[in-house]
Amino acid sequence: MSAPIKQAGAFESPSAGVEHSVRLRLSQAAGLIRSKGAKGSGPFRVGVDLGTSAVKVIVLDGLGEPAAAILRLATVVRDGVVLDYIGAIDILRQLVRELEKRLGQDLVRCATGIPPGTGSANSRATAHICEAAGLEVTGVIDEPTAAATTLHIREGVVVDVGGGTTGISILHDGLPIQVADEATGGTHFTLVLAGRFGIPFEDAERLKLDTKQSSRLFPVLVPVMEKVASIVARNIDGYRTDRVYLVGGAASLAGFSGVLADRLGLPVVVPPEPMLITPMGLALNVPGGTGDGN
Ligand SMILES: Nc1ncnc2c1ncn2[C@@H]1O[C@H](COP(=O)(O)OP(=O)(O)OP(=O)(O)O)[C@@H](O)[C@H]1O
Ligand SMILES: [Mg+2]
C-alpha cells in the first residue's frame, strides 16, 4: 500500500516562523550530540528532559549558546511519569559525568520538565532524580511551555508529540493559559506499524525512522496523526490562535504537519531538531543566564 505523502497544504508552513538564531542554536546542539564535542565557558545552565523514549541533556554556556549536549535512548519514564527511579538516576548520573568530562567543569544548576498535569509527586520524583545525579534544581517546568521559551513564542499553541504523549500549551502574553497532556505519541505510531506489518516493536521503530519508507508508511500512520490532530483540536477549541508549533521527536514524521494543519485549519510550524526544543527550553529556564529566556 502506498500513497503520496500529504504535502504542505494551504495551511502548512514548515519551519517558517522560527528565528534564524533559534534555528542555528538548535542545529549547534544537534551537532554537539553527534560530535560529542564541547565549547564555551560558564556559568553553565543545564536542561534535563527525562522523556518516555530518551533522556536528553543540553548545557548552555554563559551566553546562552549550546556548550554540550547528549541523548540516550531509555525507558525509565513512561508517558511522562517516572517508572524506574533508580534506573533514571543511574542514566542521568552517567550523562552528567560525561558532559562534565567533555566540558572540563562541574555542572551545577539545572531545570527539568514534566508533561502538563502529571502531578506534584511526579514533579518531585523528577527533581529528586536530578539532585541524586548531583544537580541543583532551579525549577520543574511543564514541557510544552519550556519549548515555547526556546522558540521565543509569546502567543500561540505548542504541541509536543514525544514518545508517549501529546503535550499542548496555549500561550498568551508569554504565559501558558492552558496546558494539557494526553496519551498518543511516537510509540503509538510504532505500534501501528508493528501491528500492520506483523513485526516486533524494535523492527517497527527502525522502519518508522527510515525516511526511504515514508510514502509507503504514510497511509498506515495517518489514523494516528488524525488522532493527535483531534486531541489538539479539542484542547484548543475556544481559544484564538494564529498558528501551531509542532515539536518533539514525532514532529519529524513526513506528512504529519500537513495532516495537523488541514484538520486545524491553521499554519503548523515544525522547527528544526524538534526533539531538542524542550530540553533547550528547560536549560533556558535556569535563571541567571545572559542569553535568551532570561
Ligand atoms: N526522525 C524521526 N521521525 C519520526 N519519529 C521520530 C524521529 N526521531 C524520533 N522520533 C520519535 O520521537 C519519539 C521520541 O521523541 P522525544 O524524544 O521528543 O520523546 P520523549 O521526550 O522521550 O517522550 P515524552 O515527551 O512523550 O515523554 C520516539 O517515538 C521516536 O521514535
Ligand atoms: Mg518529551
Task: Report the Cα 249 to chain-centroid distance in Å.
Answer: 6
Q: Per-residue pLDDT for 44 more than 70?
A: yes
Mean pLDDT of 286-294: 67
Better-scored residue on pLDDT, 36 or 122: 36
pLDDT of residue 175: 86
Closest ligand to the CA of 225: 1
Mean per-residue pLDDT over the chain, rounded = 91
The residues whose Cβ lies within 5 A of ligand 2, an ion, are 51, 162
**Residue 292 pLDDT:** 52
Distance 165 CA to ligand 1 centre (A): 10
Q: Which of 26, 33, 34, 52 to mutate to test the pocket of ligand 1 (most atoms within 8 A of CB)?
A: 52
Q: Where are the domains positioned within the chain?
A: 20-284
Interval between CA 83 and ligand 1 midpoint (Å): 18
- Give strand ranges (E) for 34-163: 45-50, 54-60, 66-73, 77-78, 81-82, 109-114, 136-142, 156-161
Instruction: Please tell me which residue, 40 or 110, carries the higher pLDDT value.
Output: 110
SS3 content of the chain, % helix, strand, coil (to 5): 45, 25, 35
Q: What is the per-residue pLDDT for 231?
A: 97
**209 in contact with ligand 1, CB cutoff 6 A:** yes
C-alpha 139/C-alpha 159 separation (Å) is 21
Query: Is ligand 1 within 6 A of the CB of residue 54?
Result: yes
Residue 15 has pLDDT above 80, yes or no: no
Q: What is the pLDDT of residue 38?
A: 97
Q: How far is the CA of 2 from the centre of ligand 2 (A)?
A: 30
pLDDT of 105 > 60? The answer is: yes
pLDDT at 4: 56
- For residue 251, what pLDDT is reported? 97
Q: How far is CA 2 from the centre of its chain?
A: 29
Of 3-12, 32-41, 117-126, 178-187, give the lowest mean pLDDT range.
Answer: 3-12
Whether 187 lines ligand 1, by a CB cut-off of 6 Å, is yes
Q: For the domain with range 20-284, which CATH number is right: 3.40.50.720, 3.30.460.10, 3.30.1330.50, 3.30.420.40? A: 3.30.420.40
Q: pTM higher than 0.75 for the full model?
A: yes
Cα→Cα distances 122→66, 80, 125, 171, 278, Å: 28, 8, 5, 23, 18
Cα separation, 237 vs 245, whole angstroms: 16
Burial class (CB in 10 A: 0-12, 13-18, 19+), 210: exposed
Strand partners, 172: 175
pLDDT in tens, 59-90: 999 999 999 999 999 988 887 788 899 999 99
Say if ligand 1 is within 6 A of residue 165 CB.
yes
CA distance 48 to 113: 7
CA–CA gap between residue 145 and residue 115 (Å, rounded): 10
* Ligand 1, atom 19: closest residue by C-alpha: 162
Distance 23 CA to ligand 1 centre (A): 19
Decide: 262 and 35 in contact? Cβ < 8 Å.
Answer: no
Give the residue carrying C-alpha cell 560530535: 35
Bond prior to 43 in cis (omega within 30° of 0): yes
- Given this model, what pLDDT does residue 11 score? 46
Ligand closest to CA 217? 1
What are 49-60's pLDDT values in tens digits? 999 999 999 999
* 274 ligand 1 Cβ < 6 A: no
Q: Phi/psi of residue 216, each to 5°? A: -70, -35
Atom 1, ligand 1: residue with shortest CA distance: 252
Q: Which atom of ligand 1 is nearest to the CA of 166?
A: 26
Which 8-state DSSP code applies to residue 83? S
Best probe residue, ligand 1, of 57, 84, 275, 277 (max atoms within 8 Å of C-beta):
275
Overall average pLDDT of the 240-248 stretch: 93
* Predicted pLDDT at 65: 96
